[in-house]
C-alpha cells in the first residue's frame, strides 16, 4: 500500500538554517512527567516519536536557571553536567531514527514558585502573577536583564552540548520574553517598557546574542501570535495576530530560523482546547498571519490527525510544517502510517485532554486514552505497534464486556496471537458507555476509541465478537474458556454517597423522582420532578 500522491508534500524535506527537517512533522514541546530526572523514560518516550516518523521531536519546557524551578510541576532542565548527560540520552534516541532533537528553553518568571530551589524569581516588573498566588518575582535591573539574556544563551550552549539540533526560545505562557512584550506584565518606564519597540528590546537583544554565539544549530522561537480577547486573554494588554503579533514576528524574522506559532496565554485552554469545543486546526484564523510577514518556515498546531487537513494547511500558505502534541501522543507512528498509506491504522487523538489534566495535577507520568503504552515505553518496555507473541496461542479466552477496556483487551490478545478469543457484550453493539457519551453534542471524536479498535480487531486478529449476549454465572462456566476476563465497566452511583462525609446525602438518592444520574437521564429518559 502506498500513500495518496496528494500527501507527498508532507514528506518533502525543508531547511531550517543549518539543519534539514526530513519531513513536515514536528512534535511540538509538551510535558510528559519525565523531565531530566527520569532520563530513561524521557529518551524512550521521545525516541518512540522519532521511530514513528516525526521529523522533529522536542522536550517539554526546559529550565536553565535555579530561579526557574517548576516544583511541584515537572519539566526538564539544563543547569549542570548531570542534566546534559541525562538529556543526551534523549537526543541519541531521536538521532537513531534520523530525526532532529529540539529543546524549548524556558524561564518561568513570576509564575513559578521555586519551591525546591528557594530562589527569588526575576521578572520585568514586580507584580503578582495572575495564575499562581504563591509565586513572586522582583523587577530586574538593567544589569540583571543582561544577565538573564546571558542565562538563556548559556542554557542554549548546554543544550548544544547535550546534542540538541533545534534551540527554541519559549516566548509564551509565562516566560521572560513574552512578559517583556505584554503590557499586562510589563510596567517598566525605561527603554524596556512602554512602546512596542521597547517591549521587544529584550527579545531582539537576546536573539542577537544567540546568533553571535551559536551558528551550528537551528534557532527559533515558540510564540503565541494572539493572546485573545478578554475573558480568555489579555485584550489590548497582550498582542493581537493582525497587529503586534505579526509585527513582533516581522521584527525578529532575520534573527530566527523558524517560528513555532500558537495562540493564548498562561490560561492555555484556548490553545490546547478539547474536542468538545474546538475543531481541528481551530487556530488557523490567528496563526496564518505569521506567514504573511515571515520568510522563515513556520509551524502550526491544532490537533491535526487528518492528512488532508494537514496538506490544506500547507498548500494554502497557512504554515510550512505540521506541529502536534496530543496527536503525537495518541499515535507516535502517525507520520509513518500516512507515508505508507495505512490510513485506517491511524490512532486519532480524541481531544479528551486527559494528558493535559494529568500534568496539571503536578506532573505525574503521562496518560493517554487512545494509547495506553504512552509513558510506559521504558519502564515496561511497551511499544504501541509491537505486540509480544504468546507461546501458548491455543487456550480459549472469554472477554466479557465490549466497552473501551474490553475492546483493548481483546484486540491486544488477538494481536499477540491468541487463536480463540471471544468478546461478548449484552448490548446490541460494542462500545459500552462511549456509545452514548460520543452521541452527546461535542463528543463525536470520542467514538474514535471504539472505531479504531474495531478496525484493528476485524483486520488483524481472529477475535470473535458477539453482541446481544448477556452472560450468567452458568453461561461463563459452560463456555469452555480457560481464562475469563471481566471488563464490564461501571455505572453512576445512585445512592447519594458523599465523598466528603462518607455518608448518604438526604434527598440525593437517584431513585427519587426529582434526582437522576446521567445514565438515567440520557439513556433511559427519566423525567425530572
pLDDT in the model for residue 529: 73
Q: Are 271 and 283 contacting, i.e. CB atoms less than 8 angstroms apart?
A: yes
Domain segments of the chain as ranges: 5-360, 397-486
Q: Which of 353, 371, 359, 369 is nearest to 275 (CA)?
A: 353
The pLDDT assigned to 267 comes to 85
Read off the pTM.
0.96
pLDDT of residue 311: 99
How many other CB atoms sit within 10 Å of the CB of residue 459?
Answer: 9
Q: Report DSSP letters for 124-155, one per residue.
A: SS----SS-TT--EEEPPHHHHHHHHHHHHHH
pLDDT attached to residue 500: 94
DSSP-derived letter for residue 7 is G
Q: What is the 3-state secondary structure (H, E, C) of 478-507?
A: CCCCCEEEECCCCCCCCCCECCCCCCECCC
- CA-nearest of 327, 377, 34, 22 to 166 is 22
Q: What is the pLDDT along the chain (529 residues), one digit of tens a residue?
A: 799 999 999 999 999 999 999 999 999 999 999 999 999 999 999 999 999 999 999 999 999 999 999 988 999 999 999 999 999 999 999 999 999 999 999 999 999 999 999 999 999 999 988 888 888 899 999 999 999 999 999 999 999 999 999 999 999 999 999 999 999 999 999 999 999 999 999 999 999 999 999 999 999 999 999 999 998 899 999 999 999 999 999 999 999 999 999 999 988 889 999 999 999 999 999 999 999 999 999 999 999 999 999 999 999 999 999 999 999 999 999 999 999 999 999 999 999 999 998 888 777 899 999 999 999 999 999 999 999 999 999 999 999 999 999 999 999 999 999 999 999 999 999 999 999 999 999 999 999 999 999 999 999 999 999 999 999 999 999 999 999 999 999 999 999 999 999 999 999 999 999 999 999 999 899 998 7
- Cβ proximity of 347 and 330 under 8 Å: yes
Q: List the one residue out of 253, 305, 12, 62 whose CA is nearest residue 166.
A: 62
| Beta-strand relationship, 483-486 and 137-139 | unpaired
E strand intervals along 256-297:
258-262
- Alpha helix positions (H), 218-361: 246-252, 284-287, 289-293, 307-315, 326-330, 334-339, 354-360
CA–CA gap between residue 41 and residue 45 (Å, rounded): 6
Which is the CATH superfamily of the domain at 397-486?
NAD(P)-binding Rossmann-like Domain (3.40.50.720)
Calpha distance 339→159 (Å, rounded): 31
Architecture of the domain delimited by 5-360? Alpha-Beta Barrel (3.20)
Instruction: Tell me the Cα Rg of the chain.
Output: 25
C-alpha cell recorded at residue 127: 507584580
**Chain center to CA of 51:** 18
Residue 528: per-residue pLDDT: 85
Helix axes 448-460, 404-415, angle to 10 degrees: 30
300/323 Cα distance (integer angstroms): 5
Q: What is the pLDDT of residue 237?
A: 97
Lateral strand order in the sheet of 397-400: 464-466, 421-424, 397-400, 483-486
Q: Are 102 and 54 in contact (CB under 8 A)?
A: no
Looking at residue 441, the DSSP 8-state letter turns out to be T
Amino acid at each position: 500500500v502506498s500513500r495518496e500522491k496528494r500527501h507527498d508534500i508532507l514528506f518533502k524535506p525543508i531547511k531550517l538554517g543549518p539543519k534539514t527537517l526530513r519531513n513536515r512533522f514536528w512534535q511540538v514541546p509538551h510535558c510528559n512527567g519525565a523531565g531530566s530526572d527520569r532520563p530513561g523514560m524521557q529518551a524512550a518516550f521521545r525516541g518512540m516519536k522519532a521511530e514513528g516518523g516525526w521529523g522533529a521531536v522536542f522536550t517539554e519546557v526546559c529550565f536553565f536557571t535555579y530561579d526557574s524551578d517548576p516544583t511541584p510541576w515537572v519539566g526538564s532542565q539544563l543547569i549542570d553536567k548531570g542534566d546534559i548527560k541525562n538529556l543526551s540520552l534523549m537526543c541519541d534516541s531521536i538521532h537513531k531514527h534520523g530525526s532532529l532533537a529540539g529543546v524549548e528553553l524556558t524561564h518561568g518568571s513570576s509564575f513559578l514558585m521555586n519551591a525546591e530551589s528557594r530562589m527569588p524569581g526575576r521578572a520585568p516588573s514586580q507584580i503578582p502573577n495572575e495564575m499562581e498566588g504563591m509565586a513572586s518575582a522582583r523587577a530586574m535591573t538593567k544589569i540583571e536583564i543582561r544577565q538573564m539574556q546571558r542565562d538563556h544563551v548559556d542554557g542554549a550552549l548546554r543544550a548544544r552540548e547535550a546534542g540538541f539540533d533545534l534551540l527554541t526560545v519559549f516566548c509564551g505562557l509565562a516566560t521572560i520574553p513574552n512578559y517583556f512584550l505584554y503590557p499586562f506584565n510589563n510596567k517598566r518606564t525605561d527603554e524596556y517598557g512602554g512602546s512596542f519597540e521597547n517591549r521587544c528590546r529584550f527579545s531582539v537583544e537576546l536573539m542577537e546574542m544567540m546568533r553571535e554565539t551559536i551558528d551550528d544549530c537551528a534557532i527559533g522561537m515558540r510564540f503565541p501570535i494572539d493572546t485573545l480577547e478578554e475573558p480568555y486573554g489579555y485584550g489590548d494588554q497582550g498582542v493581537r495576530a493582525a497587529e503586534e503579533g505579526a509585527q513582533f514576528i516581522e521584527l525578529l524574522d532575520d534573527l530566527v530560523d523558524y517560528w513555532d506559532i500558537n495562540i493564548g496565554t498562561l490560561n492555555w485552554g484556548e490553545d490546547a482546547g478539547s474536542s468538545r469545543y474546538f475543531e481541528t486546526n481551530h487556530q488557523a484564523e490567528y496563526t496564518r498571519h505569521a506567514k504573511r510577514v515571515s520568510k522563515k518556515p513556520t509551524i502550526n498546531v491544532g490537533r491535526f490527525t487528518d492528512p488532508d487537513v494537514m496538506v490544506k494547511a500547507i498548500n494554502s500558505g497557512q504554515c510550512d510544517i505540521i506541529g502536534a502534541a496530543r496527536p503525537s501522543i495518541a499515535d507516535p507512528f502517525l507520520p509513518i502510517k500516512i507515508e505508507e498509506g495505512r490510513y485506517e491504522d491511524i490512532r486519532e487523538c480524541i481531544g479528551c485532554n486527559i494528558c493535559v489534566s494529568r500534568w496539571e495535577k503536578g506532573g505525574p507520568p503521562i496518560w493517554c486514552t487512545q494509547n495506553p503504552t504512552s509513558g510506559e515505553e521504558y519502564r515496561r518496555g511497551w511499544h504501541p505497534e509491537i505486540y509480544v507473541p504468546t507461546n501458548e496461542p491455543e487456550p480459549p479466552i472469554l472477554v466479557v464486556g465490549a466497552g473501551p477496556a474490553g475492546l483493548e483487551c481483546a484486540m491486544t490478545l488477538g494481536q499477540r496471537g491468541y487463536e480463540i478469543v471471544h468478546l461478548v457484550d449484552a448490548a446490541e453493539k460494542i462500545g459500552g458507555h462511549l456509545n452514548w457519551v460520543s452521541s452527546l453534542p461535542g463528543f463525536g471524536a470520542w467514538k474514535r476509541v471504539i472505531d479504531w479498535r474495531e478496525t484493528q480487531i476485524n483486520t488483524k486478529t481472529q477475535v470473535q465478537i458477539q453482541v446481544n449476549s448477556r452472560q450468567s454465572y452458568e453461561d461463563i462456566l459452560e463456555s469452555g474458556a480457560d481464562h475469563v476476563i471481566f471488563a464490564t465497566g461501571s455505572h453512576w452511583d445512585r445512592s447519594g454517597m458523599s465523598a466528603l462525609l462518607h455518608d448518604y446525602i438526604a434527598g440525593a438518592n437517584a431513585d427519587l423522582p426529582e434526582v437522576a444520574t446521567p445514565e438515567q437521564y440520557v439513556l433511559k429518559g427519566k423525567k425530572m420532578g
